[in-house]
Structure 1
Amino acid sequence: MATSKKKKAVPKKSKGSYIIGFWTLFGVGLLVVVILFLMAGWGAFGKMPTFEELENPETNLATEVFSSDGETLGKYYNENRTPVKYDDLPENLVQALVATEDERYYHHSGIDARGTLRAIAYLGSKGGASTITQQLSKLLFSDVPESKIERVFQKMKEWVIAVRLERQYTKQEIITMYLNKYDFLYQAVGIRSASRIYFGKEPQNLKTEEAAVLVAMLKNPILYNPAKEEFKDNSLTRRNQVLKQMEKNGYLTPAKKDSLQSLPLKLNFSPEGHDEGMATYFRAYVQKFLGEWIDENPKPDGSEYNIFRDGLKVYTSIDSKMQEYAEEAVEKHIAHLQKEFTRQNKNNPTAPFRDVEESEVDQIVESAMKRSARWKEMKAKEMSEEKIRSSFEKERKMRVFSWASPNHTKDTVMTPRDSILYYKSYLQAGMMSMRPQSGEVKAWVGGTDFKHFKYDHVKQGKRQVGSTFKPFVYATAIDQLKLSPCDRLPKNRFTIEAGRYGLLKDWSPKNAGNDAESYVGMMTLKDALANSVNTVTARLIDKTGPRPVIDLIDKLGIDTRNIPAVPSIALGTADLSLFEMVSAYSTFANEGVYVKPVIVTRIEDKNGTVLYQNVPQTRDVLSKEAAFVTVKLMEGVTQSGSGVRLRGTYAANLDHYKRAVTGYPYDFKNPIAGKTGTTQNQSDGWFMGMVPDLATGVWVGAEDRSVHFPTITYGQGATMALPIWGMYMKKVYEDDELKVSKEEFKRPEDLSIAVDCSEYQETENSDTTVPDELDF
């Protein structure tokens, strides 16, 4: 018989002990959470922002460059962010943001308790709980976590920061900071950059459907990016969801929501990279200007300003409309002229070069190879020259410039050596326009495409100026000798013998055509300049001497250090920049007063404090009389000389001219003073043109002087450069807001030199020569 064992009875726990255990556990958990949040606030899980940092969270701001008419020309930045104020945000954008990202935004203090509980209960399947304030705290002060545990601690930091932000700022300020900080990709950091880059407008001008597109990107700027072809459908779907949220929250009526959702996705995508946008060459020069200014003007604490993060505001003299017209004129004419240039090079065995042997072509290419980034990089890696050269002969994929493509870029396959020849075959251009009376530079086009051709042909480049130098010789003679445009000089051959002015051999300039007829007869100074008669110019500089001419151009702002005091400078042998030429010519239109060109008018810091204000620099160079008479001489160029093409009748029977230029006829009726210039072998084509309140210069040529048109028909300044001036001024005059003068140049009250040749001949009762005592 088995004995049975009694089981021990287990005492039952009272309900009270369970309750005590629950609350103990809850209290410990709560205490742990509180301690964790306190530790986060003390910086135990990483650096927390100081009070000062919360007061000033905006850093790394782009420096913005403005035109004189208030348009943004471009920016310098590490991060393309230009903050806006809450008042600059449209109501539809704020409504879309709140409706989509944080419906209870105006009813919490940084943390949405209801949303947090919902996220915990449903493990995030019904949406997260991150408020706009928390998102801002993450943008401002959190690094990317390396693990899930680190993300938990980071989240605690964000909650603490969010609460501090809510205490420190108003709801409007938090929305503003959030939208100013968010990165929308494509260098669009902040809502202002995003509005300009994706829609080509300021934030306050955004339509509701456009605001919804940008708010949609806040969820994921890659996955919902409207500029990425593969994500356009995502962007459209997400935009419509934002519109639905706006209706749900009472910001849109159902009918309005439906109409907006039916609209297609429409962008005006305008990237704001350093190589893109308006006035790229000008902005590159302004960046250099700012660098020099910063070196000489430290901050009050002794540190340097940084144009990439200090948010400076730079106000310039450029007029955005005139800049636009200038860029259009250069692009249209050079693209058109390039077709003719390429056609004429088809049967050229040394293309794109002319007047050179094949061995010289190899030397040119060799020099270009050694200047290239490829050569320098490989040389720095201590590769042999044999290996470097062989790399230039291997075909590879590359993206090159092409006028045929809408964005001027095409993908191709070629060797680096061939790419050098390819790029050297392109014509280049420079153009600058300024107000003579104020010195303000209104348009600056340094080349055809900054992305592919970085060299600036306004300030950086210096080329032979040809006959555009002659007005300086005439002005010197008028100032010294009181000559009239109506005085006559012989065209016959003229020689300055060796020994004079230090010449080692005789100098005998030739006239155009160089036939017997070109050296026969007398000619007025006005006609001689209009037709660029070299022998007349040579007689003038022989009478004045080269040194007074150099002294004059020195006062006109031209760097004369490398210009020898020899007679041949009269024909334009000196290499000068377009910048120098335009500012010098402007002096004639400004009654003999030189005004130093103005580029930057004012610089402000991000708070609007003025750091720099331009002070005009002027000096008297010529008498009003001498300046006016020189202008009247140059008017002859557009009345009967090479500039007559501006008048509309020239090319009636010249098919080759009409084929080579664009925008003809220009048909100007108003007074225009100007001068064309063409250098040896047609390497450079110039046109300098002035009206009373605007002076504009144009240069056209190629990178190498051996790349040029074979004949003067297409290679002269009147064909290469003048049409750009004509198209530009035609647009300028069509824009009534610019108010550019069509009036006569201002005539001095005490003018004693005759400028009307018909009256001059009647008064003097003579049509013969300059007085004998001038000894020509």
Structure 2
Amino acid sequence: MSIYLGFYGKLPGKEELSTLKQSEATQILDKDGHLIGKYYIYDRQPITYQDLPQHLIDALIATEDVRFYEHDGVDNTSLLRVFFKTILLRDKSSGGGSTITLQLAKNLFGRKKYSIFSTVINKLKESFIAKRMEDIYSKKEILTLYFNTVPFPDNTYGIESAAQKFFNKSTHKLTLSEATTLIGTLKANHSYNPRLFPERSQLRRDVVLKQMVKYGYISTARADQTMNKPIELDYQYFNHDLGLAPYFREEVKKELVKILEHYKKPDGSDYDVYNDGLIVHTTLDHKMQSLAEEAMKEHMQTLQKEYESSYGSTAPWKNNKALLNNAVTNLDSYKKLKEQGLTENQIKDSLSIKKNIELFEWDGNETKKISSLDSLQHYLKFLNAGMIAIEPTTGAVMAYLGGIDYRYFKYDHVSQSRRQVGSTFKPFVYTTAIENGMKPCSYFSTTEITYTNLDNWTPKNSDDEEDPYLNYTLEKALSNSVNTIAVKVLNKVGIPKVAEQVKKLGIIDSLSQEPAMALGTDGIRIKDLAGAYASYVNEGKAVKPYYILRIEDKNGNRIATFEPEVKETPAYSPYTRQVVLEMLKSTVEKGTATRLRTTYKLKNDIAGKTGTTQDNKDGWFVGITPNLVTVAWVGNDNYGIGFKTTTLGQGANTALPIFAKLYQKMNQDPIFDPITKSTFDQPSEEVKNDLDCKPEKRDNLLKRIFGKKKKNKKFGKE
């Protein structure tokens, strides 16, 4: 009576029980509706009774509550057994006597401690709640509530989340073996976790199958057939740090939080990303993303070995004391200790304490007993990467790699990092020149010039070769990424015009307004670079990469829909677009990106641009196909460390292979035919004629004798 009257806590009434609400995970779906991740406190994803296969229901009842359809929430026979045997006689083997409805009450309202009477009080409280629930809900509704709230292994709540996590499928597709495996975990969701303890889980699954035979739900033959097969998991990591596209999911979450600030629920309250069971449809292609991650890992694993080998015993992360000391002062742990007033020696002693730390390695992580200083030195050696692939007509992001491993490298190189873009900036200079009347067959000397009004700055070409009498057309200069000519073209067209052209392409970051901008010394985000390059296959219109298509509430009601942000007016003329695109095709056919053809044997229609920054700090590649624009970057997060040689560190060797390997994989799958088999439109006759000239020419004898080239000039004055 004391429990009924609420002396041990108020019992929920019928009104509260009629409006049960549980926190639900927000689901992140790719463009085709595949689940790629969740945001949650408790991983819960509700379903309806119609989604529950009969063998799943039968397995639950046979194992947990054989008289489910006969009792009114409390099985009195079982409860008496519990009272006399379990409580009075302390016989733990006699069972718990709990019904499905009682378990549901426990799942929904939890348990509290009441000294030595905890078991009795909690059981009786659950009995009152269970009876009230049986008065309100049908047996089908109780089963649905139960399956939506019951805890499974790995912090997973509800059968749908468990099915997706352990078998990568929806509940209604669970086989008998899969269903009984999950039901088997209910007895002890850690001890019978099939991921951690496969053998123990399989034995428990077989117990469930025998229970189903015992109570006539399946035949002995079917049970034996199932028991003869091992459990086959298809485990999905919806953990924030693991699984497919973790950097993309983090970026989507940031966008989602901002968007939801402008929307309210029907009752006027705010939406909660972690509890309201929202459904977020994104632009991502889960299959392309998977292939992109494979391509990146395959390449970076090999490149990292070559990178470390090239330095050998002279590696800066081992020998450069100034670099190491600077890196230490940037550590969060160092800053916290400094704020506490510790001296440099005290901080060093604290950071030198050894402890077990799991370290990232491409060949497999390993745990070592090392200090924070040792860990810092370990991570300084790693190259990182970023890549984005977008649909050029809309900006829809199809694949997104923010780094090499989100668990250890949280910094997102697609949306956060602004690295020098090197020669990938040059097409914007040439675009401006063509748009302002410069002819594609204009010739420029390859010779180096010292600009006396710029502290005697002398741009050099990467091959260190100079022929004072050799001249290239714009096409050859761009396709071979000639630095000296890029600066001369910038000088002729003018910095303000180039800056304005770049702004029209959606790159709104303030540029240096210095001559070196022609060589890509400004930092630009990967996603902004992709949006600008999209213009070359989108009628001259730049796009803004976007991630979210629409947001729905848990019932599928639309909250918000998003359209592509495409520049209304072209940034340049159709003539300019065609000319520059032909130049970028030439880069692949006979310029700095020819290894796409020679090494990787790609036959797709591809235009592109490589890029390498000073001292080989950044390697870039932009790959353009008619229906996909891809930008890849590789470098060390510590800007004090570059590649030892240009041969190893050039964009054609560091970033291009990620694109190449991705396309090799996509070429093997017909699902990507609309991308991989797409072809460029033919340029107009005018463009063909204007590009029809010798790619290079040498000065004639008279010009060599009487027209000696000046090697000293002032920038801005021809």
TM-score (ref. length: structure 1)? 0.85
Partner of 1:474: 430
> Are positions 1:127 and 2:95 aligned together?
yes
Partner of 2:360: 401
Deviations along 1:385-411, one digit per CA (max 9) or x if unpaired, are 432211222333211101111xxx211
Deviations along 1:523-567, one digit per CA (max 9) or x if unpaired, are 121111111112221221112111111111112121332x12222
Deviations along 1:299-343, one digit per CA (max 9) or x if unpaired, are 455543221112111111110011001101110100011111121
> Are positions 1:322 and 2:288 aligned together?
yes
Deviations along 1:336-390, one digit per CA (max 9) or x if unpaired, are 1111112122221x5337xxxx6xx334333332332432444565544432211
**What is the 5 A alignment of 1:275-294?**
275-294=241-260
> Are positions 1:745 and 2:713 aligned together?
no
> Are positions 1:176 and 2:176 aligned together?
no
Deviations along 1:147-189, one digit per CA (max 9) or x if unpaired, are 3423322222212221222222222221122122122231222
Segment drifting more, 240-249 vs 177-186: 177-186
What letter is aligned with 1:297?
Answer: Y
Q: Are residues 394 and 157 of structure 1, via their aligned partners in 2, closer, same or farther at CA, if it must alter by over 3 Å?
A: closer
453, 466, 486: which one pairs with 1:537? 486
Q: Could you tell me whether the CA contact under 8 Å between 1:587 and 1:593 is conserved in 2? A: yes
Give me the CA root mean square deviation: 2.6
CA distance in 1, matches of 2:24, 2:84: 41
Could you say which structure has the larger radius of gyration? 1
What letter is aligned with 1:129?
Answer: G
SS in structure 2 of the partner of residue 345 of structure 1: helix
Partner of 2:443: 488
Q: Could you tell me whether the CA contact under 8 Å between 2:260 and 2:271 is conserved in 1? A: yes
User: Could you tell me how far 1:587 is from its partner in structure 2?
Assistant: 1.2
> Are positions 1:625 and 2:575 aligned together?
yes
CA distance in 2, matches of 1:304, 1:767: 72
What letter is aligned with 1:746?
Answer: D
What letter is aligned with 1:79?
Answer: Y
What letter is aligned with 2:369?
Answer: V
SS in structure 2 of the partner of residue 107 of structure 1: coil
User: Could you tell me how far 1:616 is from its partner in structure 2?
Assistant: 2.2
CA distance in 1, matches of 2:329, 2:462: 39
> Are positions 1:715 and 2:649 aligned together?
yes
684, 707, 725: which one pairs with 2:659? 725
Q: Are residues 752 and 767 of structure 1, via their aligned partners in 2, closer, same or farther at CA, if it must alter by over 3 Å?
A: farther
TM-score (ref. length: structure 2)? 0.91
Q: Could you tell me whether the CA contact under 8 Å between 2:459 and 2:484 is conserved in 1? A: yes
User: Could you tell me how far 1:269 is from its partner in structure 2?
Assistant: 3.5
CA distance in 2, matches of 1:192, 1:673: 45
What letter is aligned with 1:395?
Answer: K
> Are positions 1:580 and 2:532 aligned together?
no
Partner of 1:333: 299
> Are positions 1:370 and 2:329 aligned together?
yes
User: Could you tell me how far 1:54 is from its partner in structure 2?
Assistant: 2.1
Q: Could you tell me whether the CA contact under 8 Å between 1:436 and 1:693 is conserved in 2? A: yes
SS in structure 2 of the partner of residue 629 of structure 1: helix
SS in structure 1 of the partner of residue 610 of structure 2: strand
422, 425, 437: which one pairs with 2:393? 437
Partner of 1:69: 32
Partner of 1:608: 556
SS in structure 2 of the partner of residue 305 of structure 1: coil
CA distance in 2, matches of 1:161, 1:54: 9
Partner of 1:155: 123
User: Could you tell me how far 1:756 is from its partner in structure 2?
Assistant: 6.9
Runs (4+) off by over 6 Å: 766-769
Segment drifting more, 254-263 vs 588-597: 254-263
Deviations along 1:434-456, one digit per CA (max 9) or x if unpaired, are 00011100000011110011111
CA distance in 1, matches of 2:463, 2:481: 12
Partner of 1:86: 49
351, 354, 374: which one pairs with 1:392? 351
What letter is aligned with 1:728?
Answer: L
Deviations along 1:190-230, one digit per CA (max 9) or x if unpaired, are 2122223323333222221221111111111123222334x
CA distance in 1, matches of 2:689, 2:597: 21
User: Could you tell me how far 1:50 is from its partner in structure 2?
Assistant: 4.3
**What is the 5 A alignment of 1:156-555?**
156-229=124-197, 232-348=198-314, 350-352=315-317, 361-379=320-338, 383-405=342-364, 409-481=365-437, 483-484=439-440, 486-494=441-449, 496=451, 498=453, 504-517=454-467, 519-555=468-504
User: Could you tell me how far 1:49 is from its partner in structure 2?
Assistant: 2.5
Q: Could you tell me whether the CA contact under 8 Å between 1:459 and 1:577 is conserved in 2? A: yes
Partner of 1:49: 12
CA distance in 1, matches of 2:576, 2:466: 34
Q: Could you tell me whether the CA contact under 8 Å between 2:390 and 2:398 is conserved in 1? A: yes
CA distance in 2, matches of 1:81, 1:767: 74
Q: Could you tell me whether the CA contact under 8 Å between 1:247 and 1:253 is conserved in 2? A: yes
CA distance in 2, matches of 1:377, 1:80: 34
CA distance in 2, matches of 1:743, 1:217: 50
Q: Could you tell me whether the CA contact under 8 Å between 1:624 and 1:748 is conserved in 2? A: no
User: Could you tell me how far 1:126 is from its partner in structure 2?
Assistant: 4.2
CA distance in 1, matches of 2:563, 2:15: 37
CA distance in 1, matches of 2:506, 2:114: 60
CA distance in 1, matches of 2:254, 2:94: 54
Q: Could you tell me whether the CA contact under 8 Å between 2:422 and 2:612 is conserved in 1? A: yes
SS in structure 2 of the partner of residue 643 of structure 1: coil
Q: Are residues 157 and 121 of structure 1, via their aligned partners in 2, closer, same or farther at CA, if it must alter by over 3 Å?
A: closer
SS in structure 1 of the partner of residue 619 of structure 2: strand
Partner of 1:141: 109
Q: Could you tell me whether the CA contact under 8 Å between 1:63 and 1:314 is conserved in 2? A: yes
User: Could you tell me how far 1:461 is from its partner in structure 2?
Assistant: 1.0
> Are positions 1:639 and 2:607 aligned together?
no
Number of positions where the alignment pairs a residue of Structure 1 with one of Structure 2: 694
CA distance in 2, matches of 1:142, 1:49: 12
**What is the 5 A alignment of 1:646-685?**
646-648=596-598, 665-685=599-619
Partner of 2:76: 113
Q: Are residues 56 and 632 of structure 1, via their aligned partners in 2, closer, same or farther at CA, if it must alter by over 3 Å?
A: farther
The gaps in structure 1 that reach 5 residues or longer are 1-34, 499-503, 649-664, 770-774
Q: Could you tell me whether the CA contact under 8 Å between 1:676 and 1:686 is conserved in 2? A: yes
